[in-house]
Amino acid sequence: MPDASLTLDPDFRVADVPRRLFGSFVEHLGRCVYTGIYEPGHEHADADGFRTDVLELTRELGVSVVRYPGGNFVSGYRWEDGVGPRDERPERLDLAWRSRETNAFGLGEFADWAHKAGVEPMMALNLGTRGVQEACDLLEYCNHPGGTYWSDLRVAHGYEKPFDVRLWCLGNELDGPWQIGHKTAAEYGRLAAETARAMRMINRDLELVACGSSHSGMPTFGAWEATVLEECYDHVDYISLHAYYHAQDGDLASFLASAVDMEGFIDSVVATADHVRAKTRSSKRINLSFDEWNVWDQTEWREQGPPDDWPVAPRLIEDTYNVADAVVVGSLLVTLLRHADRVTIACLAQLVNAIAPIRTEPGGAAWRQPSFYPFAHVASLARGRVLRVDVASPTVNTSVYDDVPAVHAVATHDEETGDVTVFAVNRRVDEPLDLSIGHRAFAGYHLLEHIVLADSDVDATNSLEQPDRVTPWTAAGTAPAGNDRTDVRLPPVSWNVIRLRRAEGSR
C-alpha cells in the first residue's frame, strides 16, 4: 500500500498562477551587480557590459519580475548618483553593506538589463534617508514622457521612452533597527501614505507595496502591520513579507519543515490585513508581496563596525547551497503556490552570487546552484490554476515544529494544454515514500514525467570545478495503478515534479 495519497480535482481551485510569483531580487550587495550581472570586459559581456551567460541563466530560471536596487542598500541610496555619464557619477560609501559604491551601474543600466532579461522592474524607494519629494522626482524621471525637468533629463541621458515602472516598494525593512532611517510603525505608515498619495498624483495606475515586518520573529510583528496599514490601507496595494531559513545545529528534520513557519507567517499577515480592512471599512483587499525569501545561513554582519577599508563589490554572503537547501527552496515554492490567492508577488533573494541560485567568477564561468532547479521547474511548469491538494501522509517529528506531514505538495492545471503538474517534497530524512496520486476527475491521464532532485549526499553542492555535480534526473517510469490513479516513489530529502497528461483519444 502507498505511504501517502492525494487527490486531484479541477474544482479544487486556489487561484490562477500569478506570474509575478516567480520574481527575484538584484541589490547593490556584494557581487550581485558587479561581476554578477554586470562585468564590462568579460568575454561574455555584451556592448552594455552585461554578462550574457548570466542573462541566459536568468531566462532559463524563468524570472518574471526583479526588485531593485535593495534591500538595505536602498535606505541610503541617492538614485541621482547612478544616472548620466559614468565618468561624472560620484563614488559613495554604502553604509548598509560597508562597501564603496561606484555607481557605474544605475537606473538606466538596470532598465536596459531588465529589458534584455525579459523581466518586469520592481523599483524600491529610499524612505529611510529620503521622502516624498525624492520619490516623486524618481517617478517623474522613470515614467513621465517629457517636457519636465526630470523627464527631460532622462531623455538627455539617452532614454527617450519612459521606463514605465508600475510596481514600487515604499521603502525596505524600516521596522529593523539595522536599517538606515529606521522608523516606528506610525512614522513609517504616515510617510508611506503621503508618498503613495503624491505618487498617484503623477501616475494613478501604480501598484504600491508597503513595508511589513522584516521577519515574523521581530518583537513588533503583527502590531507593525496593523499600525502601518491603518495609516496607509487605502493608498497601497500590497504589504510585504521577508523570511530566510537555515539549518540550526544540524537539525535537518526541522530545516526541511521550514515551510511550516512560512505558512503561519502568511496566514498571520492575511488575518491582520483583513482585520484592518474591516476596521477601516475599506472596499479593497490588500494582497501580499513576499519580496524577500530564501535559504540563508545568516552571519552577524549587523554587529560589525565600519571596515578598515571600504572595498568595491566584496564577496558577501555567497552561500553555497546543497541538496537539502534546494529541497527547502522547493518546499517554500509549494507554500507560495498554496497561497496564490493572496500572495501574488514573490522575489527570491537574490539573483546572482549573494545568497543566489546563480554563481559567477570574475572573468570566469557562471553556474547553477542546486536551488536553481526547483525555482526553474515551478516557473516553467506551474501554469493555469493552482489546485488545492490535501495530502494524507505519515508525519515526521521535528524539534521545532513537532509532527509535520512527510509530504508537502501542491498541483497546477494548465487548461490550455490540459497538463497537470504536482510539485512535491519528501521531508523524510532516511526513507523513500510511495505516493498515490488519485486523478479520477482527470480520467485517462497518465504519467508523462517524474523529475527528481535528490542525492545520497544531502550536502552535495555545485562549484566552479564541478558545476553539474547536482542536477535533476528522471525517475524510472512506474506502471499506472489504474485509469484514475498514478503511483510514484519519492526518495528521501527530495524535490519532485510529477507531470500528468491526458492520453490521446481520451475525454
Q: What is the pLDDT of residues 86-114, one digit of tens each?
A: 999 999 999 999 999 999 999 999 999 99
CA pseudo-torsion sign 19, 20, 26, 32: negative
- Cβ atoms 142, 206 nearer than 8 A: no
Say which amino acid occupies 68: Y
Task: Please give the span between the terminal C-alpha atoms of the chain, in angstroms, as a whole number.
Answer: 29
pLDDT of 304 above 90: no
Residue 11: phi, psi to the nearest 5? -85, -10
Q: Which helix (H) or strand (E) holds 488?
A: strand 485-490
Greater confidence (250 vs 450) lies with 450
- Cell 559613495 sits at which residue? 92
Q: How far apart are CA 415 and CA 11, in angstroms?
A: 12
DSSP letters spanning 172-241: S-TTSTTSTT---HHHHHHHHHHHHHHHHTT-TT-EEEE---SSTTSTTTTHHHHHHHHHHGGG-SEEEE
Give the model's pLDDT for residue 504.
Answer: 74
- Cβ atoms 175, 211 nearer than 8 A: yes
- Average pLDDT over every residue of 416-428: 97
pLDDT of 479 above 80: no
Q: Which helix (H) or strand (E) holds 137?
A: helix 132-143
pLDDT of 361 above 90: yes
Greater confidence (481 vs 332) lies with 332
Going from N- to C-terminal start, the domains of the chain cover 4-10+386-502, 18-381
CA nearest to 119, candidates 25, 29, 32: 25
Q: What share of the chain is helix, strand, coil (3-state, %, to 5)?
A: 30, 25, 45
Lookup: cell for 62? 524563468
- Cβ atoms 426, 433 nearer than 8 A: yes
Would you give the distance in Å from CA 397 to the centre of its chain?
28
pLDDT of 478 above 70: no
The total number of residues shown for the chain amounts to 507
Kindly provide the residue ranges of all beta strands, DSSP E only, lying in 259-375, ordered along the sequence: 287-295, 343-349, 358-360, 366-368
Characterize the bridge pairing of strands 407-413 and 420-426: antiparallel
Give the model's pLDDT for residue 125.
Answer: 98
Q: How far apart are CA 16 and CA 18, in angstroms?
A: 6
pLDDT of 300 above 70: no
Give the C-alpha distances (Å, rounded to integers) separating 115 from 4, 109, 111, 496. Answer: 44, 10, 6, 32
3-class DSSP state for residue 15? strand
**Helix-then-strand count for the chain, H and E:** 10, 24
User: What rounded mean pLDDT belongs to the chain?
Assistant: 96
Q: Residue 163, Cβ neighbours under 10 Å: how many?
A: 19
Indicate yes or no: pTM above 0.85. Answer: yes
pLDDT of 238 above 80: yes
Q: Which helix (H) or strand (E) holds 114?
A: helix 107-117
Q: What percent of the chain has pLDDT over 70?
A: 97
Q: Residue 380, Cβ neighbours under 10 Å: how many?
A: 14
pLDDT of 506 above 60: no
Q: How confident is the model at residue 1 (pLDDT cuts 50, 70, 90)?
A: low
CATH code, residues 18-381: 3.20.20.80
Q: How far apart are CA 478 and CA 461, in angstroms?
A: 29
- Average pLDDT over every residue of 116-138: 98
Q: How far apart are CA 96 and CA 84, in angstroms?
A: 24
Give the model's pLDDT for residue 303.
Answer: 58
Query: Residue 149: how many CA atoms within 13 Å on its side-chain side?
Result: 3
Residue 73: phi, psi to the nearest 5? -55, -35
Give the model's pLDDT for residue 306.
Answer: 81
pLDDT digits (tens, 9 = 90+) for 33-56: 999 999 999 999 999 999 999 999
Q: Which of 303-317, 363-377, 391-405, 408-422 has the lowest mean pLDDT?
A: 303-317
Q: How far apart are CA 234 and CA 237, in angstroms?
A: 8
Q: How confident is the model at residue 298 (pLDDT cuts 50, 70, 90)?
A: confident
Pick the CATH number of 4-10+386-502 from 3.30.460.10, 3.40.228.10, 3.60.60.10, 2.60.40.1180: 2.60.40.1180
Q: How confident is the model at residue 237 (pLDDT cuts 50, 70, 90)?
A: very high
Give the contacts of 147 (CB within 8 A, at least 6 positions apart): none
Q: How far apart are CA 355 and CA 367, in angstroms?
A: 14
Q: How confident is the model at residue 248 (pLDDT cuts 50, 70, 90)?
A: confident
415 is catalytic: no
Give the model's pLDDT for residue 452.
Answer: 98
pLDDT of 297 above 60: yes
Give the model's pLDDT for residue 482.
Answer: 63
Give the active site residue among 292, 415, 416, 431. Answer: 292
Give the active site residue among 101, 173, 225, 231. Answer: 173
Give the model's pLDDT for residue 495.
Answer: 98
Say which amino acid occupies 71: G
Lookup: cell for 273? 490585513
User: In terms of DSSP H, where are the helices of 300-452?
Assistant: 323-338, 372-381
pLDDT of 481 above 70: no
Torsion of CA 480, 485, 489, 493, to 10 degrees: 150
292 is catalytic: yes
CA nearest to 262, candidates 294, 224, 219, 221: 294
Give the C-alpha distances (Å, rounded to integers) separating 83 from 79, 87, 462. Answer: 7, 11, 37
